[in-house]
């Protein structure tokens, strides 16, 4: 449960990282822009805001990660829909004498209530993956890390 809580919290929080570059300011800006362009599609669930400062001859990047503006509206919409579903289920159980609506509506609502944490977990994981991609591009551009993952290690007894 704590992993779901962490992912849900990460879905809506704002986070700032401070990275000291190995390069001057202008070169760091150009390297980061190129690395982000190589990284692929722009993030859709994360708003990345770089802020540059100079610390002597080196550049300092304050990378701010914030949720996309529509994330909050999607979560509010989901909450309203769930409240309506619960109210409709209570109405169906209280007023319907006999029929499928009295059974199926509360059953569907119960399944939807059980699915909401997994929806939040999926959205949080997608945002975390986008942030990890941006952080990887930053490390490649500013800290001269390898762009690709190291080769898989092979042991002598493997075929």
25 lies in some domain: yes
Binning pLDDT at 50, 70 and 90, where does residue 1 land?
Answer: low
Q: What is the mean pLDDT of residues 77-89?
A: 95
Q: What is the mean pLDDT of residues 79-104?
A: 92
93 lies in some domain: yes
99 lies in some domain: yes
73 lies in some domain: yes
149 lies in some domain: no
Query: Which position has the higher pLDDT, 94 or 97?
Result: 94
Give pLDDT, residue 148. Answer: 67
Strand partners, 16: 64
Vertex 68 angle, CA 82 and 30, to 5°: 165
158 lies in some domain: no
Q: What is the mean pLDDT of residues 20-43?
A: 88
137 lies in some domain: yes
154 lies in some domain: no
Domain count, the chain: 1
Does pLDDT of 106 surpass 70?
yes
Give pLDDT, residue 83. Answer: 96
């Amino acid at each position: 449960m704590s992993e779901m809580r962490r992912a849900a919290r990460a879905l809506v929080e704002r986070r700032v990282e401070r990275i000291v570059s190995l390069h001057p300011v202008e070169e760091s800006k150009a390297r980061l822009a190129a690395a982000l362009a190589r990284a692929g599609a722009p993030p859709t669930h994360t708003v990345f805001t770089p802020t540059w400062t100079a610390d002597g001859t080196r550049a300092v990047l304050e990378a701010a990660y914030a949720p996309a503006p529509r994330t909050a509206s999607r979560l509010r919409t989901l909450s309203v829909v769930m409240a309506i579903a619960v109210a409709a289920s209570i109405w169906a159980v209280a007023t319907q004498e006999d029929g499928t609506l009295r059974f199926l509506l509360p059953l569907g609502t119960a399944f939807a209530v059980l699915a909401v944490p997994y929806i939040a977990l999926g959205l949080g994981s997608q945002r975390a993956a986008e942030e990890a991609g941006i952080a990887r591009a930053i490390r490649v551009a500013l800290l001269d890390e390898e762009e690709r993952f190291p080769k898989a290690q092979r042991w002598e007894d493997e075929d």
